[in-house]
Structure 1
Amino acid sequence: MTVPLSLDRPWLRFDLGGPHQVLSWALNRPGFVTASAISWREVRNADLTPDLDVLDWLTGQLAARGTPDDVCFLTSRDIRAVTEHTATAGSATARAVATVGLSNAERIGTRLDRSGKDWGTINVAVQTDVALTQSALIEMMAIATQARTVAVLEVNHHLPTGSATGTGTDCIAVAAPVGDTPFAGMHTDLGEAVGRAVHTAVLEGAQEWMRTSRRSEVV
């Protein structure tokens, strides 16, 4: 879990150090898959034209890099603003990597008209060294999502509908070795480590966006 991030703009790559089970709703490899890395591809509005088949384009981009099996996020956030945090609780360690943009922020249960406007996103990848069942990986996803939401609430980004809780294009990927640990909730070492790692990484990124980048994500 100590492989440094690889940043080669417009790409960011989080090497997991070997095959892991990964759960996400990423465009190119959603659901439960096996992957050895999670990538980010920074894009501009001009890259994603209305007639573009985005999945086909992204698949080609990954193949050209020689990383066709990576789970991949798309983001308009400057990937140089990446944040990461590693947390340990008891016997569990979690490492979270995040890019945070709030230009298309929403409050849960409401929806603003974002057509033709800015598109930001929060993308979070979190890896643990604890070998998990699939059900525990689902629970790990829930913990990561809760931590992301709390971090966004804490920066007090106000919308006409209330305080932002996320964006309309957020994506989270959780990764772990395959094993028999059955739980990853808030009463477990793993839940504590994942929650703290994700919360810290997202909060730092959201605070930076609030300070400097509210209107600079889209070219």
Structure 2
Amino acid sequence: MTAPLLSVTLARPWLVAELGAPQRVLSFAPYRPGFVTTSRIVWRELRNADLPPDLSIEDFTRRDMTEAGYQDAVGLLTSRDIGKFQRTEVEIEGSRVACVATVGLGNAERIGTRTERDWGVEQYGTINIGVQIADGLTETAQIEALTIAAEARTAAVMEAGLHLRGAPVTGTGTDCIAIASPAGDGAYAGLHTALGEAIGRAVYQAVAQGAAQWVSENPMMMQKIFRPDRELGQNG
């Protein structure tokens, strides 16, 4: 029987994706980033009340994860409604990949620019992606896999119809990606491989679905902030 990938449990304020066994995870997550070993990736949904102005986010995250029993997990933070998560799974030529994504775009940015905003955390939203790969990979291949996931996310966001300063949005200011796989001998995960295709398709589909849902929920923000007719050089 094939082991499931990224088995998801929603228990607010937590979204938990189980890996089935301890695996190597590579991420730039706010909690336990870098290469670590864990059996789960968790999303923590936040609201303004969770983050008073004088709070250290590092201390809050460490304490919160520990009190909830997730001290051994990789932890992601988001103000997006975690009940709106997207899960996809793709298999191509025997390479299996699953993706879980929460997609909020209020905090959207255009690469190479910075937009100043004075919004509360509820208005931000961000893109947090967890990916599990069934293939055993080297650390180098896992780094390559993370770049493929980032490319897929960017493609999906660019096609979502958001614009700043007359150009398509490419991501959000606080995106995060976590890639899990067993340690192994697989040395390649690029676009010319079945694994790279599977990673790209799984992440693209999850982010595209989540972005479309967010856009449909936020017509006023789309009109006032992310209009395609704003001229280059104007403030978004």
TM range (shorter): over 0.9
Deviation digits for residues 48-73 of structure 1 (CA, Å, limit 9, x no counterpart): 12211112111111112212111011
**Shift in Å at residue 28 of structure 1?**
1.3
Matches within 5 A, 1:1-12: 1-2=4-5, 4-12=7-15
Identify the residue that residue 142 of structure 1 maps to in structure 2.
147
Identify the residue that residue 120 of structure 1 maps to in structure 2.
125
Let me know the Cα RMSD of the aligned residues.
1.5
Does residue 23 (structure 1) correspond to residue 49 (structure 2)? The answer is no
Deviation digits for residues 158-208 of structure 1 (CA, Å, limit 9, x no counterpart): 223521110000000001000111110011111011000000000000000
**Shift in Å at residue 3 of structure 1?**
5.6
Bigger radius of gyration among the two: 2
Q: Which moved more, 1:147-156 or 1:46-55?
A: 46-55
Gaps of 5+ in 1: none
Distance in 2, Cα, partners of 1:205 & 1:62? 25
**Shift in Å at residue 46 of structure 1?**
2.6
Does residue 179 (structure 1) correspond to residue 170 (structure 2)? The answer is no
Does residue 59 (structure 1) correspond to residue 62 (structure 2)? The answer is yes
Tell me the amino acid that sits aligned with residue 83 of structure 1.
Answer: Q
CA contact (8 A) 1:83 1:99 kept: yes
Does residue 99 (structure 1) correspond to residue 122 (structure 2)? The answer is no
Structure 1 runs, 4 residues or longer, greater than 3 Å off: 115-118, 213-216
Identify the residue that residue 165 of structure 1 maps to in structure 2.
170
Residue 186 and residue 122 in structure 1: after superposition, are their counterparts in 2 closer, same or farther (change >3 A)? same
The equivalent position to 1:154 in structure 2, one of 152, 159, 168, is 159
Identify the residue that residue 194 of structure 2 maps to in structure 1.
189
Gaps of 5+ in 2: 222-236
Partner-residue secondary structure (3-state), 1:108: coil
Distance in 2, Cα, partners of 1:153 & 1:52? 34
TM-score, structure 1 normalization: 0.94
**Shift in Å at residue 214 of structure 1?**
6.1
Does residue 86 (structure 1) correspond to residue 89 (structure 2)? The answer is yes
> Kindly, what percent of the aligned residue pairs are identical?
50
